[in-house]
Amino acid sequence: MKQGARMGIEGLVTAVIINYKTPDLVRRVVASFRQHYPSLPLLLIDNGSHDESEKVLQAFHDQQPQTTRLLLNANNLHHGPAMDQALREIATPFVLFLDSDCHVINGGFVEQMLNKLQEQDSFYSVGKRISMDTRGFDVSEGMSNAILYIRPLCMMLKRDMYLTLPPFERHGTPCLRNMRSAAERSLGLLDFPVEQFVEHEGRGTAGRFGYQLGWRGKLNYLLHKIGL
């Protein structure tokens, strides 16, 4: 591990957790993250929940106001646009995204992810890497239409590099267009054993409220099923 990276982690990385109407989940993830990273800068975004979530996040902010920033959106921007919002609010060169339905079980992953990204200038993002087709559905890595994709459940990226790519968007796989563009530019999308450090419930928010993509989401799913 690079000693310089470890010593300066608080000045290099900001963590981001985005919540929408899941106060129980966000309470768990923030508490577990703070157990391992009590002083790392943390941006908490509420996506227009207007429920107990705001009180939960406010309490975390009040406990550590110097290292915790709170952003309350009036409306639900949806996950991808809120991620983009965070990246334009943050000043540190590296940003870590952690899903609200995660539970941090071991520390050390922030340092390790940071070190991997610092190995080469062309490395862009690190996390659980999979392959998806052009519509955002999982495929095998060897398929001709496969696009490398880092799941944003626990993902770190270089902020300045992100700003040169298409923004994250409202989509079931919000980073897809961004990462497809990154791959076309030969920017590194690095695999990392996230599961050793973070338990992910999966579809925590989406399981309760859906993706709320309207007719576009239904059309995308239908075209995927018929192979278009």
Give tens-digit pLDDT for 57-116. Answer: 999 999 999 999 999 999 999 999 999 999 999 999 999 999 999 999 999 999 999 999
Percent of the chain with pLDDT over 70: 82
What are the residue boundaries of the structural domains of the chain, listed by start? 3-225
pLDDT for the residue 139 = 76
Burial pattern 16-47, b for ≥16 Cβ within 10 A else e, equals bbbbbbbbebbbbbbebbbeebeebbbbbbbb
For all residues of the chain together, what is the average pLDDT?
88
Q: Which residue has the higher pLDDT, 68 or 143?
A: 68
pTM score, two decimals? 0.85
User: Residue 72: its pLDDT value, please?
Assistant: 97
* The domain made up of 3-225 is a member of CATH 3.90.550.10: yes
Alpha-carbon gap, residue 104 to 11, rounded angstroms? 21
- Region 175-204 average pLDDT: 93
Give the end-to-end CA distance of the chain in Å, rounded to a whole number: 45
Residue 171: the pLDDT is 86
Beta-bridge partner residues of 94: 13, 158
CA separation for the pair 64, 172 (Å, rounded): 33
Please compute the mean of the pLDDT values over residues 141-148 and round it to a whole number. Answer: 76
